[in-house]
Structures are given as structure tokens and as C-alpha cells.
Amino acid sequence: MYNAGKILIGLAIFFGLATFPFFYNMGKAVAKPDPKLDTPEIMKLAKQDRKCVEPKEFMRAEHMQLLNNWRDSVVRDNVRVYVNSEGKKFDMSLQNTCMRCHSNKKKFCDECHNYMAVKPYCWDCHIAPKEKES
């Protein structure tokens, strides 16, 4: 091989970059996020009533869109009542509806958001519920 030294340096850089994710995670325990649903407010409810505004699978994938729609609906159209897929009515409010049950932002919201490394800007305007530092 001609210019072997330079080419090997280049290949080493390429190999390092291409396999970087494998080395970066070496020896790190992969903790699965585990959002907690055991707030006092949820525990108070009867077993069959422990439901979010929409089914779990929907909320998991689409909650950001739902919240965005709520915001637009409240702020722009002054429509504050949300009718869910079962016909039940809810007040569209992050602080008063969502966080009433899910009062554990750190163990609920942040659990997945930190895992996915996303920083939603909800709390730029809203007030996060008070939590005991654990």
C-alpha cells in the first residue's frame, strides 16, 4: 500500500467514529425508564378508574401532540373542555388535570424524558408541582 501511514491513520479515525456508539456505552448499565404511577391521587381512585384521559398506548406515543392541541385549543380558541374517545369530559389543563394525578414530575415525566434526552419546554411557562426532594 502506498502512503500506508496516512491511510491507516484515516482508517483508524473512520473506524473509531463508526464504532463510537459501541465504545461509548461500554460498561454502562442500561437502565430502562420506569415512570411511577403510585401518587396518592392515583392510589385514591378505584382500580377500574385508574385511567388517563386516553388509553395508555395512545398516551405513550401521542401525549405531546395531545398537550400541544390542548394548548392551542385553550390559548387560541378558548375551548377548555376535552372530550375523550369514551365521551368523558376533561378540563384541558396541564397543571390542574394532568399534574393533579401525576404529581410526581421527577418520577413520571422526567423518567422517560431524561432517558430520551428530550427537554420539553412545558415548564418554561407552567409551574411544576412541588415535590419533596428525594
Partner 1 sequence: MKTLIPFFAVVILVLLALAGVNMGNQQFLFGVIIPYAAVTVFIAGIIYRVVKWGRSPVPFSIPTTCGQQKSLPWIKQNKLENPSTTLWVMARMALEVFFFRSLFRNIKTELREGPKLTYGSDKWLWMAGLAFHWSFLIILIRHFRFFAQGVPLPIHIIESLDSFLQIGIPLLYITDALLLGAVTFLFARRVYLPSVRYISLPADYFPLFLIFGIAVSGVLMRYFVRVDIVSVKQLTMGLVSFTPVIPKGISSIFYVHLFLISVLFAYFPFSKLVHMAGVFMSPTRNMPNDSREVRHINPWNYPVHIHTYDEYENDFRDKMKAAGIPVEKE
- Contacts with partner 1, residue ranges (CB under 8 A): 1-4, 7, 10-11, 14-15, 18-19, 21-22, 24-26, 28-33, 57, 60-62, 64-65, 67-68, 112, 115-121
CB of 20 to partner 1, least distance (A): 8
For the record, the C-alpha cell of 126 comes out as 407552567
Q: Which is nearer to partner 1, 19 or 96 (CB)?
A: 19
Q: Which is nearer to partner 1, 60 or 80 (CB)?
A: 60
CB of 102 to partner 1, least distance (A): 16
Q: Which is nearer to partner 1, 56 or 130 (CB)?
A: 56
